[in-house]
Amino acid sequence: MNWLYLAGIIVFLIGLMASVGLHELGHLVPAKIFGVRVPQYMVGFGTTAWSIRRGETEYGIKWIPLGGYIRMIGMLPPRPGDDPTRLRSSSTGPFQGLIESARDVAQEEVRPGDEDRVFYRKKWWQKVIIMSGGPFMNFVLSFILFSILLVGIGIPALTPVVSPKTNTCVIPISEQRTDCRATDQPTPAVKAGMKPGDRIVSFGGQKINSWDDATRLIRSHGAGPVAVGIVRDGKPMTLNVTLIAQDRPSTTDPKKIDKGVGFLGVMPTEVMQQQSLGVVVGYMGQLTGRVAESLLNLPQKMVGVWHAAFSGDKRDPEGPVGVVGAGRMGGEILSSDLSGKQKVAFLVNLLAGFNLAIGMFNLIPLLPLDGGHIAGGLWEGLKRAYARVRRRPEPGYVDIAKVLPLTYALAFVMIIMAGLLVYADLINPLTLTG
């Protein structure tokens, strides 16, 4: 295996572990501020690789870098009338047994004097803040990474500067090749004396500010003569070019072909353009909408993953990808022929997008996700507000243990989905080219 490929996987895993650690820190800090006792803060799963105790909390790293957790005492309330400091026997009913076993586990670390330090006794808004802290940290980290990418590094942008990779001959779109043959005619740009490095500044008397401007004017002109203003080595000059008509891929849908459009025969130069913070906000907003749409269509997307894994169908570039697949993409990025700056940009973009997806996924209002606890806290606040308005006695704590059977079912589905993604990422992975 290429050592750069392996290094890319390791870099991604380190970034992932840092993201998980910050996610759990987002839960830990407000939990401690609001007085919840937290016995453990762990990054990873499985057996403990290293840990240290500070005060009442054990901080550590586990061997499997696929998640993390903090353990808060009293996540579930006892049954009404039970002594919160004592355990009780479970019922014989299958679902009730699951619920009561979970209550027992939630209470077994409650010591005398901890009655007000259990999670379930905290105010509803404190519960919401504690459980929102994890996804919030993912969003913050995503914003920081996207800011580094867009403001610090920049994003690839096409400029109206003739690239050295520009072909010197006209190759019909029906022929899948890039090499020129003796029978190929020179491009209009070559005939007019245009060279790599020339910046196109005007076309037919109209100013060119971007490659999009150049493409639009060239295509709409069609075949025929036109004056093209360029700057070469700092000196402005005008070239008389005779465009030809060619069939070219559509600029709005590459799968479609535009017939007989104007053809000059130049390729743009790609540069990294730095953006403003305002662009970061807009970029994240657009990406958030796409992620939300993907989450809504997750069952359908997973069907596509199934077909990709077992039928060899092409993976959907907009579909879900697991940790294994993202790690492989990290390896592919670092071992590619991209420049050092482009590699950093791709890795930062990968980690930023992964954090955004993790944050949004955790907000789904179902247990065992953070969103399930957030929904429980909001429902408790709504019930208590309603009771105050109706001048009724304050209701008890919302008992999210009642939905534990659904939680276990969802957890089982999530395990199946994770396994399918791992298999698909190994058999038919997404790549840089989709």
- The residue-averaged pLDDT of 5-31 equals 91
Torsion sign over Cα 33, 37, 40, 45? negative
Which two tokens mark 34? 């609001």
Are residues 245 and 173 in contact, defined by beta-carbon separation less than 8 angstroms?
A: no
In 3D space, the residue among 213, 252, 431 whose CA is nearest the CA of residue 335 turns out to be 431
CA angle 323, 328, 331 (to 5 degrees): 130
Q: Which residues pair with 242 in a beta bridge?
A: 225
| 270 classed as catalytic | no
219 pLDDT band, cuts 50/70/90, is very high
Residue-level pLDDT at 103: 52
CATH architecture of 158-273: Roll (2.30)
The residue-averaged pLDDT of 262-284 equals: 89
Which contacts of 349-354 are long-range, i.e. CB under 8 A and separated by 24 or more positions?
Answer: 349/145, 349/146, 349/149, 350/12, 350/326, 351/12, 351/15, 351/16, 351/19, 351/145, 352/141, 352/142, 352/145, 352/146, 352/149, 353/142, 353/287, 354/16, 354/19, 354/326
* DSSP strands (E only) in 186-253: 199-203, 206-207, 224-232, 235-249
Say yes or no to pLDDT of 401 above 80: no
Where are the domains positioned within the chain?
Answer: 158-273
Given its phi and psi angles, is residue 371 left (phi above 0), alpha (psi -120 to 50 degrees) or beta? Answer: alpha
Confidence of residue 88 (pLDDT cuts 50, 70, 90): very low
What pLDDT, on the 0 to 100 scale, is given for residue 109?
Answer: 62
Largest CA distance in the chain: 92
DSSP string, 86-141: S--PPPSSHHHHHHHHHHHHHHTTPPTT-TTSSGGGS-HHHHHHHHHHHHHHHHHH
Read off the pLDDT of residues 133-174 as tens digits, 9 standing for 90 and up: 999 999 999 999 999 999 998 888 899 999 998 888 988 887
Q: Mean pLDDT score of the chain, rounded to an integer?
A: 85
- Token pair belonging to 190: 């070559």
List for the chain the helix, strand, coil content (%; round to 5): 50, 20, 30
- As a whole number of Å, the end-to-end CA separation of the chain is 22
**pLDDT surpasses 50 at 268:** yes
Region 70-97: mean pLDDT is 58
**pLDDT at residue 212, as a whole number:** 92
- pLDDT, residue 83, reads 54
CB 176 within 8 A of CB 165: no
Residue 80: closest CA among 384, 397, 350: 397
pLDDT of residue 356: 94
Task: Please give the residue that has the higher pLDDT: either 124 or 92.
Answer: 124
Select from 362, 291, 320 the least CA-distant residue to 135.
362
Query: What local confidence, expressed as pLDDT, does residue 91 receive?
Result: 41
What is the Cα–Cα distance from 266 to 1, expressed in whole angstroms? 38
Helices vs strands, H then E, count in the chain? 11, 9
Count Cα neighbours of 72 within 13 Å in the Cβ-side half-sphere: 28
State the pairing for strand pair 40-54/199-203: unpaired
Answer whether residue 334 shows pLDDT above 50: yes
> For the segment 46-74, what is each residue's pLDDT rounded down to a tens digit?
889 999 999 999 999 998 877 888 988 88
pLDDT of residue 49: 92
Predicted model pTM: 0.77
Strands 235-249 and 257-263: antiparallel
Contact between 296 and 183 under an 8 Å Cβ cutoff? The reply is: no
Burial class (CB in 10 A: 0-12, 13-18, 19+), 356: buried
pLDDT at 89: 40
Burial 191-217 (b: 16+ CB within 10 A, else e): bbebeeebbbbbbeeeebeebebbbeb
pLDDT digits (tens, 9 = 90+) for 336-381: 877 788 888 889 988 999 899 999 999 988 877 899 889 989 999 9
Q: CB–CB of 133/141 below 8 Å?
A: no
Checking if the pLDDT of 182 tops 70, the result is yes
Whole-Å CA distances, 131 to 40, 59, 139, 183, 398? 16, 19, 14, 68, 15
The confidence band for 24, taking pLDDT boundaries of 50, 70 and 90, is very high
Lowest-confidence region among 72-86, 294-308, 385-399, 407-421? 72-86
